[in-house]
């Protein structure tokens, strides 16, 4: 199977990890355990903390982070696409794919503070993972209300408009969706969220 693009997203939640492999559930479906190379490529497909938001996370990025050769990476990515554990997405036009996806938050919200009321922090245990503006905090915390990520961004943009919440660059559903999808390689790589098939979380 060929690798879609231009960007890639990893789907699933890793629930078991050994030196020589891992087990991941995609939506409500546990996938047969992977070997270490397959898991490394899948984990690299999640992205990187320093990736520029809005840029596609490409197969070349995956190979660089996974430390695998181009042909090996392409072969493994093809298998992962066939298993539904990787999808291609264009961060500039994400709607068709976003209709099939949703987000499962994996961290806790730590709220904002009187000193920084526009900054919403997320973390797990005692580790702070991210500081998000209101618009992205709302997207992350309320995405579950809608059947898929595209519908969530449309709904959130409408809610914000009705409530008079400043949306800046996320002025409508399409713009908010591009913003959220553009951040996914960062969010997934730090464990803030995992991407799952719509309707399966």
Partner 1 sequence: MADVDQRWPGLVLPVGHRLGELHDPSSPGPRQVVVRHGATAELLTPEDSRVWERAHAGGEPSGARAVAVARRLLGLGVDPDEAVPRLVARGLLVHVDPRDDDAPRVSATVRARPSGQATGAAPDGTTGYGLPGLPPLTRLTGRHVDVWLAAVLATDLRRAAAGVQALWAEDLDGAPGPDLERRVLVDLWDVVAQMVSAGAGHLDTAG
The residues binding partner 1 (CB under 8 A) are 13-19, 22-23, 25, 28, 30, 104-114, 117, 120-121, 124-125, 127, 129, 141-142, 144-145, 191, 194
Kindly write down the DSSP assignment for every residue of 115-129, as one continuous string: SSTT-EEEEETTEEE
Cβ-based nearer residue to partner 1, 17 or 82: 17
What is the C-alpha to C-alpha distance for residues 33 and 134, in angstroms, rounded to an integer?
38
Cβ-based nearer residue to partner 1, 14 or 75: 14
Distance of CA 101 to the CA centre of its chain: 9
Cβ-based nearer residue to partner 1, 96 or 199: 199
What is the C-alpha to C-alpha distance for residues 26 and 196, in angstroms, rounded to an integer?
6
61 sits in the region (left: phi over 0; alpha: psi -120 to 50; else beta) called alpha
Cβ-based nearer residue to partner 1, 19 or 52: 19
121 contacts 139 by C-beta, under 8 angstroms: no
Cβ-based nearer residue to partner 1, 5 or 27: 27
- State the minimum distance, in angstroms, from the CB of residue 116 to partner 1: 9
- State the minimum distance, in angstroms, from the CB of residue 112 to partner 1: 5
- State the minimum distance, in angstroms, from the CB of residue 113 to partner 1: 6
User: Helix crossing, 134-142 with 173-189: angle to 10°?
Assistant: 80
- State the minimum distance, in angstroms, from the CB of residue 142 to partner 1: 6
- State the minimum distance, in angstroms, from the CB of residue 96 to partner 1: 26
Q: How many CB atoms lie within 10 A of CB 70?
A: 11
> What tokens were used for 14?
């890793």
């Amino acid at each position: 199977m060929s690798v879609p693009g231009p960007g890639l997203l990893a789907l699933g939640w890793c629930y078991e990890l050994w030196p020589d492999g891992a087990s991941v559930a995609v939506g409500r479906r546990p996938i047969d355990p992977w070997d270490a190379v397959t898991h490394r490529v899948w984990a690299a497909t999640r992205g990187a903390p320093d990736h520029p938001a809005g840029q596609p996370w490409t197969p070349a990025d995956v190979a660089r982070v996974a430390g695998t050769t181009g042909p090996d990476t392409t072969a493994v990515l093809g298998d992962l696409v066939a298993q539904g554990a990787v999808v291609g997405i264009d961060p500039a036009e994400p709607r068709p794919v976003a209709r099939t996806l949703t987000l499962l938050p994996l961290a806790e919200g730590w709220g904002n503070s009187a000193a920084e009321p526009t900054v919403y922090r997320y973390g797990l245990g005692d580790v702070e993972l991210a500081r998000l503006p209101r618009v992205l905090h709302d997207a992350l915390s309320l995405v579950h209300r809608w059947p898929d990520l595209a519908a969530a961004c449309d709904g959130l943009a409408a809610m914000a408009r009705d409530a008079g919440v400043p949306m800046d660059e996320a002025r409508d559903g399409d713009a908010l969706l591009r913003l959220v999808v553009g951040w996914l390689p960062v969010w997934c790589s730090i464990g803030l969220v995992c991407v799952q098939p719509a309707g399966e979380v």
